[in-house]
Chain A
Amino acid sequence: MTTSPNFSISRYAPERSAWRKLTARDSIVRRLDWLMLLAALALSALSTLLVYSATRGRTELNHGDPYYFLLRNVLNIGIGIALAVGTVWLGHRTLRGAVPILYGVSVLLTAAVLTPLGATINGARSWIQLPAGFSIQPSEFIKITITLGMAMLLAAKVDAGDRPYPDHRTVLQALGLAALPILIILLMPDLGSVMVLVVIVLAALLASGASNRWIAGLIGAGIAGCVLIWQLGVLDEYQINRFAAFANPALDPAGVGYNTNQARIAIGSGRLTGSGLFHGSQTTGQFVPEQQTDFIYSVAGEELGFIGAGLIIVLLGVVLWRACRIARETTELYGTIVAAGIIAWFAFQAFENIGMTLGIMPVTGLPLPFVSYGGSSMFAAWIAIGLLQSIKVQRPLSA
């Protein structure tokens, strides 16, 4: 325990009740970043409404039960919050010790997707089908374990006080750790997740204070990789089509451009205040495919208008702003890198998801954190919130 004079009073205080413990000035609960938490909760609540609106009429998906997706989404949020509480309880530092195990399990799961255990949805083999209609998407959890793994490796020597910045060897190790799952996911092929992971790696390196050459090298390698992927023709036809449709939105509005075109019509028709929840003709008419998952933002755009859709961006901004604060205020590099990785993940994934709905990014199968329907992504997002909270409440204490 601590010997800091700040906390010395507690030593002489009588034993407190559990409630007092939770509400005491120095308690974990009081020290949580409530603003971030409330923003994440608000996003999840909006998610429930939007998922319900998008699915209540989709009888071919909801098995005739309009509340099917709503209930499952609420369940997902509940599990996600529980996972976040568990994460705070354990603390990110405790998890630091478990990183090798977590990393190993997540990589194995990801690899399992490529075995007959995996399921292909929309051209990407990203899912593992579980009994009772459940499925998990290991790539979501890889985002967490790569963040944790890189933070562990990059911060080890710095936090130990041996070096001011991670050395080349450490950086190489960290890159190697990230490269394995990225390669596996590239084989699925799940380009969207690969992009998110690359951005996480970049952010982790940036935050670690690694040499500028590494940063520049990585960016160069990323560009070269893109060119290589394009040249080698690794991409499936559907992926090439998505890029083509992005480059030219008027291309084949009934075919490859259909999705983005309809999403844009939905959003544009929302105007300032939207058509009202459950009153969007595009949503009710099911013109936008994948609307409860990847294109959930189009529901917000159509039915809640600029005000509602803008609110989602603002709420995401609040989460990211608080996360940035946490990253800056924590004194150990491990926490900083974890926070930076999560920031990069949320920010890029939100930008890509909303951006493709708005037609400024090509279509990839990335969910909108906290808002899209989907267990794995909801769990991962809330675990990330748990990690950020843990970093905040468990600031390193001088021993």
Chain B
Amino acid sequence: MTNIPETGRTSRVNVRLIIIQILVFSLLLTLGGRLWYLQIRNGDEYTAEAASNHIQQVVDPATRGSILDARGVPLADNETRLVVTADRTQLMRMKDRGKAVLGRLADVLGLKADEVAAKVRLCDAKTPRPCWNGSPYQPIPITDEATTQQALQIRERAEEFPGITAEPTPVRRYAGPGKSNTAQVLGYLSPVTDDEITKAKNTRSPLLRSDQIGRSGLERQYDSVLRGTAGVTRYEVDNLGRVIGKAKSDKSQPGSNLITSIDARVQAIAEKELDQAMKDARKEFDKNTGRNYKADAGSVVVMEAKTGRVVAMASNPTYDPNAWVGGISGKDYKQLTGKDSNYPLLNRAIQGQSAPGSVFKAISATAAVNAGYDFDGKYDCSSSYSIGNEVFKNFESKGYGPIDLGRALEVSCDTVFYDLAYRQWQKDGGNNPKHPKDWFYKTAHQFGLGDETGVDLPNEVSGRVPDRQWKKKYWEANKDSWCRQGKDDDSYAGKIAKENCESGMRMRAGDSVNYSIGQGDTLVTPIQMATIYSAISNGGTLYNPTVGKAIVSPDGKHVEEIAPKSHGKLPFKGDTRDKLDSALAGVATRGSAAWRFQGWPQKQIPMHAKTGTAEVYGKQTTSWFTTYTKDYTVVMTISQGGTGSGASGPAVRKIYDALYGVDDKGHIDEKKALLPRPEAKLPKIESDGSIEAQPIGAGRRKP
């Protein structure tokens, strides 16, 4: 050993030791870097993953809030039913894809085997109803009308029914109090789609697979309020799913209740009378078409004139909203949406539009006054009016000679308005307009036509004011087909097409003249007319119609009233409103609607009305009847139903009779009156949050 120097080390070994050291520390640095990358750089991502890893959610669905009428009577609430559901995922895993199980189930439930099988197949473009259009992972309801005995059979023989459950479940019920239906206003529910679940995922109210959501009407409009928040209990679980602790949990929060301004009793009468009026119209012979009136659709709106609140809103044809509960059957679905169904799902009070006919004259009269014509001036009510070689007839009335605008409204004289509109058209420059004032069109817009009223129901349509702008757009969209059709077609339709092709972009004299009496291309909805006539009644305020009156929290502690909102004032100059008001009263007492209000206690309850009969190309006339008192506005329309007062008159009169308790002889019996004054107060809310319902029969008229 002594020969070896103390350092004892060759440089080769030293260098290699240093290499080893460098290698070692680069390995450690690599680890440190990777650790930083995972924990600091991507830490949040992994934290989220860890959370989803060990948290399992158990969901307790919320009870949907009720929809009540103005007196607390439930229009839509929940009842507990025994619902039998099938877990499709589990069935599909079986060898025979669940056939045997579903067969046994059909036996127990007393249903046909293929009917049950059809309910669990998934909907696609080719599959006819019934089929399941919800999520395939959600239990599919087979029936919600299982008896206790059936449910017990399924539960006791669970091994024979894998994937089938029978549970008491709260189910939506549309009670239909007092034979009211209110279908289109209430709307309906159907299961959520995967899309909706994804969309709602990060919002305040995420949706569950088992959720139903409102598809139309109030159920849709107030869905987020009614639905409440499902309770979620979060369990911390280990790798085998065993619960090792409870994490943050949210209790299920039942949905709020919605009090509406609907009065179920008035609603029932409105529905009944509308239906009756349509049935009666079908017995009437239409001279123009040579057959009975079809009366294929109609609607009626009863509105509080001073607030815009909707007391009743009926649309016909109608349907039973309960058809949707527990999954709609194929037959029902076809009946509601098929080509021959006449679309009962439509709420024609807000989605049905047609030309207004003479009920538009209140607007034309106001427009004339604003354009500088004296309301009390004398205007010639001739029996016909000629422009060039075109003759415009006095449609609803004969000639009356020189009369003022009030009288023209009373007798619904067309020629007075023809003349006013024609003169105004000439003032605006005729066929070569220069800075036209367009008083008649401007006034219609000021009355809210061509725009939604803002009613708290989904999918309201806006109607149409056929002003110059619209004409231009419409012509540009259609000129090609018009010009093609008009080229070598000598029929009437062909001539019209040719004329439209050549001059459809212009506001022609005929257009303006027709427009002034509510015929032609103008489209209005019943809710728009109700809003306008309410505004005439209340002094000029256009209210957004509302059905919802208050939202009451489930415990009854928070009551959020939905206050009436206005979207404008009618453009009345001076005392135009009062003159219009007395003219419309004249319509009811000595004008075109007088025969329908015979014996009405006009002194105690001044009645105002306007009739309208709108012509529709290729169809029978639309009946319009707009009426108001100081409290209520009632507007009824019947498509292909005949004249305004003829078809709709008796029904509207009966609605007023019921509201005010007026008998055939014109005596007022307050005790029989359903609603002599609008219901200003909310129903009584108990301390436990329940809402007192007044008996449906109270104050009801004897039939």
Q: Hey, which bits of chain A sit against chain B, CB under 8 A?
A: 57, 159-161, 164-165, 203, 206-209, 262, 264-272, 281-282, 284-287, 301-302, 305-306, 309-310, 313, 316-317, 320-321, 324, 327-328, 331-333, 336, 340, 343-344, 347-348, 350-351, 354-355, 358-360, 396, 398-399
Contacts and interface: CB of A to CB of B under 8 A. Distances in A.
16 contacts: A164-B10, A267-B39, A271-B40, A281-B50, A285-B53, A285-B244, A287-B54, A302-B50, A310-B32, A313-B32, A324-B24, A343-B24, A348-B27, A358-B34, A360-B30, A396-B8
A285 B245 CA distance: 10
B125 interface: no
B403 interface: no
Nearest to B237: A285
Interface string B1-45: 111101111101110111111011101101110111011101111
Given A281-B54, A324-B17, A328-B17, A165 B40 contact: no
A274 to B, nearest CB: 9
Contacts of B7: 331
A286 B35 CA distance: 21
A399 B2 CA distance: 7
A281 B236 contact: yes
Given A209-B13, A268-B50, A320-B24, 20 more contacts: A57-B244, A161-B4, A206-B16, A209-B10, A262-B53, A268-B43, A301-B35, A306-B36, A309-B35, A324-B20, A328-B14, A331-B8, A333-B8, A336-B9, A336-B13, A343-B24, A348-B27, A354-B35, A358-B31, A358-B35
Contacts, number: 170
Contacts of B4: 159, 161, 331
Contact of B43 (A270, A316, A327): A270
B1 A344 contact: no
A272 B40 CA distance: 6
A324 B21 contact: yes
Contact of B35 (A209, A262, A313, A331): A313
Given A272-B43, A347-B27, A284 B244 contact: yes
A285 B34 CA distance: 25
A269 B8 CA distance: 51
Contact of B239 (A203, A285, A328, A398): A285
B249 interface: no
B235 to A, nearest CB: 11
Given A203-B20, A269-B43, A209 B31 contact: no
Contacts of A399: 1-2
B31 A313 contact: yes
B156 interface: no
A325 to B, nearest CB: 9
Nearest to B44: A271
A317 B25 contact: yes
A271 B43 contact: yes
Residue among B39, B43, B54 with most chain A CB within 10 A: B39
Contacts of A332: 8
B433 to A, nearest CB: 70
A354 B50 contact: no
Contacts of B18: 328
A267 to B, nearest CB: 5
Contacts of A310: 32, 35
A354 B34 CA distance: 10
Contact of A306 (B14, B16, B39): B39
Contacts of A309: 35, 39
A384 to B, nearest CB: 15
Contacts of A340: 17, 20
B17 to A, nearest CB: 5
B238 interface: yes
A347 B50 CA distance: 30
B39 A268 contact: yes
B49 interface: yes
B680 interface: no
B13 A285 contact: no
B46 interface: yes
A209 B20 CA distance: 13
Interface in B144-197: none
Contacts of A270: 39, 43
Interface in B231-259: 236-240, 244
Contact of B49 (A57, A268, A301, A359): A268
A313 B12 contact: no
10 nearest A-B pairs in the assembled complex, by CB-CB distance: A268-B46, A331-B8, A271-B43, A269-B50, A285-B238, A347-B24, A351-B27, A269-B47, A161-B3, A306-B39
B51 interface: yes
Contacts of B34: 355, 358-360
Contacts of A160: 1
Nearest to B247: A281
A396 B54 CA distance: 58
A306 B19 CA distance: 28
B16 A209 contact: yes
Contacts of B40: 271-272, 306
B24 A282 contact: no
Interface in B194-237: 236-237
Contact of A265 (B27, B31, B50, B238): B50
Contact of A396 (B1, B10, B27): B1
Given A209-B16, A265-B46, A331 B239 contact: no
Nearest to B41: A268
A305 B32 CA distance: 12
A285 B10 contact: no
A354 B31 contact: yes
Interface string B51-67: 10110000000000000
A302 B49 CA distance: 13
A155 B119 CA distance: 84
Contact of A269 (B1, B2, B36, B49): B49
A208 B6 contact: no
Contacts of A164: 10
A89 B80 CA distance: 83
A268 B47 contact: yes
Given A161-B3, A281-B236, A268 B38 contact: yes
A398 B4 CA distance: 9
A359 B35 CA distance: 10
A269 B46 contact: yes
- Of residues A57, A164, A206, A302, which shows the largest number of chain B Cβ atoms within 10 Å of its Cβ? A206
A10 B2 CA distance: 24
Contacts of B1: 159-161, 396, 398-399
A271 B39 contact: yes
B599 to A, nearest CB: 81
Contacts of A282: 50, 53-54
Contacts of B28: 313, 316-317, 320, 347, 350-351
A81 B238 CA distance: 36
Contacts of A209: 10, 12-13, 16
Nearest to A288: B239
Contacts of B12: 165, 209
B32 A327 contact: no
B20 A343 contact: yes
Contacts of A316: 28
Nearest to B12: A209
A155 B25 CA distance: 26
Nearest to B28: A317
A284 B238 contact: yes
Nearest to A351: B27
Interface in B614-652: none
A309 B25 CA distance: 16
A328 B46 CA distance: 43
Given A269-B46, A396-B8, A336 B17 contact: yes
Contacts of A262: 53, 239
A151 B1 CA distance: 17
Contacts of A266: 50
A207 B12 CA distance: 9
A160 B12 CA distance: 18
B20 A285 contact: no
